[in-house]
Amino acid sequence: MTARRTHIVGAGVAGLSAALAVTAEGGEAVLYEAAPQAGGRCRTLHPADGFVHDNGTHVLFTANTRALDVLKTIGARERWLEPEPKGLPVFDRPTGAMRRIGLSPWSWLLPSRRPHGLTLSDLARILQLVFASKDCPVAAIIGQRPIMDSLIEPLTVAVLNTPAAQASSQRLGHALRQLIRPGAGRLLVARNGLGRDLIEPAVATLQARGASILTGQRLRMLLSTGERVIGLTLTDRTVMLGADDRVILALPPYEVERLLPSLAVPKAFEPILNVHYRMQGSGQRRFVGLTGTLAQWAMIRDDHVSVTVSAADAVIDRAAADVAVQIWREIAPALCLLGLEAHAHRQPETRVVKEKRATIRQAAEPLPQPPVRPLANLALAGDWIGSLPATIESAVMAGEHAASILRHAPGGGPPVSRARPLKREDAA
Ligand SMILES: Cc1cc2nc3c(=O)[nH]c(=O)nc-3n(C[C@H](O)[C@H](O)[C@H](O)COP(=O)(O)OP(=O)(O)OC[C@H]3O[C@@H](n4cnc5c(N)ncnc54)[C@H](O)[C@@H]3O)c2cc1C
């Protein structure tokens, strides 16, 4: 049997998905990751004091079929649970009330599951958003109505991590078209966290298929003829490519731009800020939406509560401790309503994680998109490729697409024997 070797740079979700696609067909994959561990923006932090938490809560929807397929492939689908099957509890700080809303528009047929303030004319505007033919800011379609605060703004920043005043109606419309399918709007979270329920099983599956994952290896430079890549200069080695080897750069746009400066890539980003409070949570995962607060949602785990501020431009440069105090005071009443012991003036041990470039800014303007295969044997992957919301789903799709187009790319040389020794690096 013969196989080409695919060198995948970046072991985030896109790189791992590319490697799963390559190895599914018996291909050979080597991953190079700059960080000490795989996962990229989906990672669990393990500080010395034992307060283990994700960088930030990640949700999937049942609409994210490609991501769910990856979970099935790596044997982790059952670890993603629906924390709120009866509808999302939403705490409204100004009124102090908690009520459930349905995430699927079909559930809005029940008055008790409707977002606050939803009227028939709002539904017409939401339909306009779902089927937007021209791109414009989400807020330009919805206008200043109660539904903006109770549904549209939180939904827009959750999906696009960009405020509704700027966010692309077409990108949001795409997500909404997926979500309105019956059964597609169920929200899922990792039972034990991103490391145990996504990244570790992906790495284990790849290793079982013979793939290598080399961490602590930053790609410093691509060696190329101008038409094809011939080598990779990494942290402590240079890897020269075989004639038929391929490369996938599963990297954020700013790294792609550094390595291939002639490519036009998106340059604007939006931050996400997460605060993790170490406290007795609940045995059952809980997920609550928040309105009238700095944060938009909170996830309750056994031993901590994680709170998310998306599109966090307004707070990202504020002192972390001040932001954490404000958020705690705002959410403590919501946690009490969910049965937790939480006192506004007794803040638990706190960790703040700031991701300044959490996603690209997904505004209603054309984003630069480089060709997916800028060199004969090199393809790009990453959540920012394409016109879908930049999420786990788009990262999976981009990784799989990159693997697929290289598989079908005309070969540059003879197939490489699978028996070829895996590492062929010359120490730099
Ligand atoms: C706080 C937060 C919350 C989020 N919430 C959600 C959510 O609820 N749902 C959802 O679907 N999505 C969410 N996202 C988005 C999701 O995390 C990303 O879309 C996805 O992880 C992107 O994967 P990626 O592989 O494209 O990029 P990355 O995860 O950025 O992977 C790129 C990898 O390349 C490595 N790398 C960079 N430069 C080099 C180099 N020169 N050489 C070698 N390696 C390099 C990096 O270390 C990284 O591991 C969230 C993101 C954040 C930050």
Nearest to 304 by CA among 278, 283, 284: 278
Backbone angle region of 143, left / alpha / beta, with phi > 0 → left and psi within -120 to 50 → alpha:
left
**Stretch 344-349: mean pLDDT:** 96
Same domain assignment for residues 278 and 262: no
Same domain assignment for residues 260 and 394: yes
Range of the domain at 73: 44-82+188-193+269-360
Same domain assignment for residues 355 and 316: yes
Out of 326, 360, 394, a domain closes at 360
CA of residue 8 to ligand 1 center, whole Å: 15
pLDDT for 413 beyond 70: no
CA of residue 400 to ligand 1 center, whole Å: 16
pLDDT for 419 beyond 60: no
Average pLDDT of the chain is 92
Same domain assignment for residues 307 and 168: no
- Using the Cα atoms of residue 153, residue 85, residue 273 and residue 194 in order, give the sign of their dihedral: negative
Same domain assignment for residues 249 and 378: yes
Q: pLDDT at position 410, please?
A: 64
Q: pLDDT at position 104, please?
A: 82
pLDDT for 108 beyond 90: no
Q: pLDDT at position 3, please?
A: 54
Domain presence at residue 378? yes
Question: Lowest mean pLDDT: which of 103-112, 190-199, 266-275?
Answer: 103-112
| Closest residue to atom 8 of ligand 1, CA basis | 58
Same domain assignment for residues 144 and 126: yes
Same domain assignment for residues 255 and 145: no
Q: Tokens for 258? A: 């550094």
CA of residue 357 to ligand 1 center, whole Å: 9
| Closest residue to atom 41 of ligand 1, CA basis | 219
Helix spans in 25-137 (H): 65-73, 120-130
Band of pLDDT at residue 296, cut at 50, 70 and 90: very high
Same domain assignment for residues 354 and 382: no
CA of residue 359 to ligand 1 center, whole Å: 8
Question: What percent of the chain is predicted at pLDDT more than 90?
Answer: 84
Domain presence at residue 91? no
119 vs 82, higher pLDDT: 82
Helix spans in 25-160 (H): 65-73, 120-130, 138-142, 146-147, 153-160
Band of pLDDT at residue 1, cut at 50, 70 and 90: very low
- 60-98 tens-digit pLDDT: 999 999 999 999 999 999 999 999 999 999 999 999 999
**Stretch 11-20: mean pLDDT:** 98
Q: pLDDT at position 6, please?
A: 98
Band of pLDDT at residue 418, cut at 50, 70 and 90: very low
Domain presence at residue 304? yes
Out of 360, 377, 394, a domain closes at 360
| Phi, psi (rounded to 5 degrees) for 307 | -120, 140
CA of residue 40 to ligand 1 center, whole Å: 4
Domain presence at residue 247? yes
CA of residue 42 to ligand 1 center, whole Å: 6
Task: Name the DSSP class of 168.
Answer: B
Q: pLDDT at position 342, please?
A: 97
Question: Which protein residues are within 6 Å of ligand 1, measured from CB?
Answer: 9-15, 32-35, 40-42, 55-56, 58-59, 218-219, 250-252, 255, 272, 274, 355, 358-359, 382-383, 390-393, 395
Q: Compute the distance between CA of residue 190 and CA of residue 140 in angstroms, rounded to an integer.
A: 35
Q: Compute the distance between CA of residue 224 and CA of residue 226 in angstroms, rounded to an integer.
A: 5
Domain presence at residue 207? no
Q: Which atom of ligand 1 is nearest to the CA of 398?
A: 26
CA of residue 15 to ligand 1 center, whole Å: 10
Q: pLDDT at position 31, please?
A: 98
Q: pLDDT at position 411, please?
A: 55
| Closest residue to atom 22 of ligand 1, CA basis | 383
Task: Tell me the CA distances in angstroms from 222 to 32, 46, 156, 389, one per residue in order.
Answer: 13, 32, 37, 29
Domain presence at residue 209? no
Q: Which atom of ligand 1 is nearest to the CA of 234?
A: 42
Same domain assignment for residues 311 and 353: yes
pLDDT for 300 beyond 70: yes
Q: pLDDT at position 422, please?
A: 32
**Bridge partners for 298 per DSSP:** 288, 307
CATH of the domain at 283: 3.90.660.10
CA of residue 13 to ligand 1 center, whole Å: 7
Helix spans in 223-300 (H): 253-259
Same domain assignment for residues 23 and 59: no
Q: Which atom of ligand 1 is nearest to the CA of 393?
A: 11
CA of residue 214 to ligand 1 center, whole Å: 17
- Torsion of the alpha carbons at 57, 271, 158 and 318, rounded to the nearest 10: 80
Q: Compute the distance between CA of residue 199 and CA of residue 204 in angstroms, rounded to an integer.
A: 9
CA of residue 41 to ligand 1 center, whole Å: 3
**How many domains does the chain divide into?**
3
Same domain assignment for residues 228 and 163: no
Mutate to test the pocket of ligand 1, among 220, 234, 251, 258 (most ligand atoms within 8 A of CB): 251
pLDDT for 269 beyond 50: yes
Band of pLDDT at residue 424, cut at 50, 70 and 90: very low
Q: Max CA-CA distance within the chain?
A: 69
- Using the Cα atoms of residue 114, residue 160, residue 296 and residue 17 in order, give the sign of their dihedral: positive
| Closest residue to atom 12 of ligand 1, CA basis | 391
Task: Tell me the CA distances in angstroms from 393 to 80, 244, 406, 410, one per residue in order.
Answer: 15, 29, 20, 28
CATH of the domain at 18: 3.50.50.60
Same domain assignment for residues 145 and 225: no
Mutate to test the pocket of ligand 1, among 20, 30, 33, 41 (most ligand atoms within 8 A of CB): 41
Task: Tell me the CA distances in angstroms from 110 to 82, 146, 152, 352, one per residue in order.
Answer: 20, 19, 19, 38
